Structures are given as structure tokens and as C-alpha cells.
Structure 1
Amino acid sequence: MLFLARMFLMGLHFVLAGVLGLVLGLCRPFNPDNSRLCARLYSLPALCMLRIKLKAEVSSLFGQDRPCVIVANHQSNYDLYVLGRVVPPRTVSIGKKSLKWVPFFGQLYWLAGNVLIDRGNGQKAKQAMLQTTEALQQRDTSIWVFPEGTRNQGKGLLPFKKGAFQMAIAAGVPIIPVCVSTYAGRFKLNRWNSGKVMIRSLPAIPTLGLTLDDLPQLMDRCQLMMRECIEQLDSAVGTKAAV
């Protein structure tokens, strides 16, 4: 019964947050700080309704005085509510083009200045990546990317795609890894307290002076750091990723 009540409230909340976010986007279209405000709009009420205990250690994420590329592990659709709590100011994200067809959410996502990529069209995807590089260099805007490219369902990090790291090198901006403890499939939504999640941002990884020749090493370094951090967070929370 509690699960059904929560799903009903979450459905209402998703629609209401979408409408309010769309109004915000229409009032100041493509403002890069819309993403942070909309993320909070979705996240804060949802965390309360689901009674998810969230602990965030993200000083490096909010201590930046320049744009950066933020990379995070991608577990499920609940990332919207979990990670929405820690999106820093003037940060936009990269999402798949099909998101624009989601009622309210898709439209506000676009009006918030986020980048929609057609992954089936290499030329358009490359053009969108060039736009994000320009945003990093000239618009004082950070980019949030899920380098796995898809949800890992809490089964451990998937191989990283190159895009986020190519952008960071091209723009000469640091990369900040954000790690989330394993929660996918582990929330107990039929209990009063659904579960615990920990988020930790790691120290910035500089890319200034790097070239594309350094790309494989940079990706391996970032993935190793994130994997070790997620293991530490899982140990602290008391969960373990499925094998």
C-alpha cells in the first residue's frame, strides 16, 4: 500500500515539477542555471516522499571557480532525484534526443539549455559536442555527463565513452568525478525509510596541456578512481554492487 501511494504521489510530483520547470524555462529560456533549479525542483520533494537518506560530500564540486566537465555513474531513472540534489550552479547536461518527447520534462530540459544529442547521427552528435566545448570555453558553463552512456542498473561501472573526456581536453578544463553508492534495485519503497545513498565528488583532474594521445590514460585513471570510490561508499552504506 505504501509503495502504491508513493508511486501515485511521485507521478503527480513529476507532472507538477515539469509544469513549474517549463514555466521557469519560458520566463528565462536557455539560462544555464535553470538546470540546477529544475534539478532541485524534482529532487528535494522526491527525496522527502521516498524518505531516502542522502549524504553528500561534494566540496570539490562546489569549490570550482571555472567551468569543468562533471562525470558521474548512471544507475537508473532515480538519478534525477538522487543527483539532482547536488547539481552545481551554471551546469547543463547532455541527454539523448528522444528526451524531448517526454511531456513537460523534455521541453523544460531543452529550455534549461541542456544539450540533446542524436546518437544515431554521428555528424549531428559531433556538432552538439562542439557546442558544448564552446559553452565550456566561452559561456562559463559546466557540463554534466554520464560517461557510461546508459544505465548500469547497479551492476558496476560500464565502459566509458570518449565524449566527455574529449570535450575536457579540447576545452582545457578539469574533470570532476562524482560517485554515487550502489542503490539501483536496493530501495525498499514499501517501507517507511526506503534506503540510504552517499554521493562523493573527487578532486578535480586537470586536462590543460593534454592531447588526444593522453585520452586512454585519462579515461582509465578516471574510471579506476570512481570504481574505488564507489566501493568505499558501498562499504559505508552497507551495500555491494551485483556481479
Structure 2
Amino acid sequence: MLFLLRMLLLTLHFVVAGVLGILLGLCRPFNPDNSRLCALMYSRPAMWILGLKVETDTQSLREHVRGAVIIANHQSNYDLFVVGGVVPERTVCLGKKSLKWVPFFGQLFWLAGNVLIDRGNATQAKQAMLTTTDTLQHKDTSIWVFAEGTRNLGKGLLPFKKGAFQMAIAAGVPIVQVCCSTYVKHMRLNRWHGGTIMIRSLPAIPTSGLSLDDLPTLMSQCWQQMKDCIDGLDAQVERAC
């Protein structure tokens, strides 16, 4: 019963936050700080509705130099609510073009200045990559990417796609890694306390001076660091349960 009530309230909240986000976007369209404000509108009420406690250790993310590629693990559609509270200022997200057609959220996502990519169109995807490079270098803005490219559904960190790392190397900007504990395994939405989630950011990795020849090593380094961090967060959550 509690689960059904939470889903009803979450759906209502999703619609209300979407409408408010669209109004914000219409007032200042494509402002790169819209994403952070909209993420907060989605995240904080949702965490209260779901009864989830989020513990964060994200100093390196809060203090990062603008113009960074931020990569995070991608577990489920709940990521919108879970990591929304740690999105830093002037950060836009890289997403699939199909998101534009999701009612309320899609229009908000576009107006917030996020980058939409048609992965099935190589020409458009290349143009979007050039746009993101310019954004990182000249517009005092960071880009958030779920480096796995798809949801892992709590089954472990999937291999990374190249796009985020190519962007960072092309723009010569640092990579900031954000790791979230495997909350999909621990959520108990039919209980008052839905569970505990831990989020930690890792020290920035500079890419200045790197070339595409360094891409495999960079991807492997980031993947292993994030896996080790997520495993550590999961162990902490297990001990706290």
C-alpha cells in the first residue's frame, strides 16, 4: 500500500516539477544553470516521497573547475531523483534525442540547454560532439554524461562508451567521476525508511596533453576507479543495514 501511495505521489510530483521546469526554461531559455535548478526540483521532494536517505561526499565535484566532463554510473530511471541533488552549477547533460518527446520532462530537458544526440545519425552525432567541445572550452559550462550509455539495472558497472572521454580529450578539460552506491538492490519502497544511498565524487583527472591514443588507458583507469569506489560504497551501505 505504501509503495502504491509513493508511486502516485511521485507521478504527481514528476508532472508538477516538469511544469515548473518548463516555466523556468521559458523565462530564461537554454540557460546552462537551468539543469541544476530543475534537478533540485525533481530530487529533493522525490527523496522525501520515497523515504530515501542520501549521504554525499562530493567535495571534488563542488569545487571542480567549470568546463569539465562529469561521468556517473547509470542504474535506473530513479537516477533523475537520486543524483539530482549533487548536480553542480552550470552543468548540462548529454541525452538521447528521444527524450525530447517525454511529456513535460522532454520539453524541460531541451529548454534547460541540455545536449540531445541522435545516436542513429552519425552526422548529427558528430555535430553534437563539436558543439559540446565548444561548450566545454568557451562557455564556462560542464557536461554530465552517464558513461555506460544505458542503465545497468544494478547488475554492476557496464563498459564505458567512448563519447565522454573523446569530448574531454578534444576540449582538454578534466574528468570528474561521480559514483553512486547500487541503490537498486537496497531500495525498500514499501517501508517507511526506503533505504540509504551513498554518493561520492573522485578527484578530477586532467586530460590536457592527452591524445586519442591515450583513450583506452584513460577509459580503463576511470572504469576501474569507479568500480572500486562503488564496491566500497556498497560495502558501507551493507554494514549500515
What is the aligned partner in structure 2 of residue 83 from structure 1?
A: 83
SS at match of 1:16: helix
SS at match of 1:129: helix
Q: CA offsets, 1:1-32, max 9 Å, x none?
A: 11111111001000000000000000000000
Query: Partners in 2 of 1:156 and 1:210 — Cα distance?
Result: 29
What is the aligned partner in structure 2 of residue 169 from structure 1?
A: 169
Query: Partners in 1 of 2:204 and 2:217 — Cα distance?
Result: 16
How big is the shift at 1:183? 1.1
Segments of 4+ moved more than 3 angstroms: none
What is the aligned partner in structure 2 of residue 104 from structure 1?
A: 104
What is the aligned partner in structure 1 of residue 73 from structure 2?
A: 73
What is the aligned partner in structure 1 of residue 14 from structure 2?
A: 14
SS at match of 1:132: helix
Q: How does 1:184-195 map to 2 (within 5 A)?
A: 184-195=184-195
Query: Partners in 1 of 2:10 and 2:78 — Cα distance?
Result: 11
Give the partner amino acid of 1:230: I
Correspondence 1:231 to 2:231: yes
Identical pairs, percent: 69
SS at match of 2:49: helix
SS at match of 1:184: helix
SS at match of 1:81: helix
What is the aligned partner in structure 2 of residue 155 from structure 1?
A: 155
SS at match of 1:54: strand
What is the aligned partner in structure 1 of residue 61 from structure 2?
A: 61
Query: Partners in 2 of 1:2 and 1:108 — Cα distance?
Result: 29
Query: Partners in 2 of 1:191 and 1:79 — Cα distance?
Result: 20
Contact 2:66 2:90 (C-alpha < 8 Å) held by counterparts? no
Query: Partners in 2 of 1:204 and 1:21 — Cα distance?
Result: 30
Unaligned segments of structure 1, at least 5 residues? none
Give the partner amino acid of 2:74: H
* Greater Cα shift, 59-68 or 130-139: 59-68
Correspondence 1:34 to 2:43: no
Query: Partners in 2 of 1:141 and 1:34 — Cα distance?
Result: 12
What is the aligned partner in structure 2 of residue 180 from structure 1?
A: 180
Query: Partners in 2 of 1:177 and 1:30 — Cα distance?
Result: 25
Query: Partners in 2 of 1:44 and 1:104 — Cα distance?
Result: 18
Query: Partners in 1 of 2:177 and 2:66 — Cα distance?
Result: 16
Query: Partners in 1 of 2:71 and 2:146 — Cα distance?
Result: 6
SS at match of 1:92: strand
Query: Partners in 2 of 1:207 and 1:215 — Cα distance?
Result: 10
What is the aligned partner in structure 1 of residue 201 from structure 2?
A: 201
Query: Partners in 1 of 2:221 and 2:131 — Cα distance?
Result: 26
What is the aligned partner in structure 1 of residue 50 from structure 2?
A: 50
What is the aligned partner in structure 2 of residue 114 from structure 1?
A: 114
Query: Partners in 2 of 1:83 and 1:10 — Cα distance?
Result: 16
How big is the shift at 1:65? 2.9
Aligned length: 239
SS at match of 1:196: strand
Unaligned segments of structure 2, at least 5 residues? none
Q: Could you state the TM-score of these two structures normalised by the residue count of structure 2?
A: 0.98
What is the aligned partner in structure 1 of residue 143 from structure 2?
A: 143
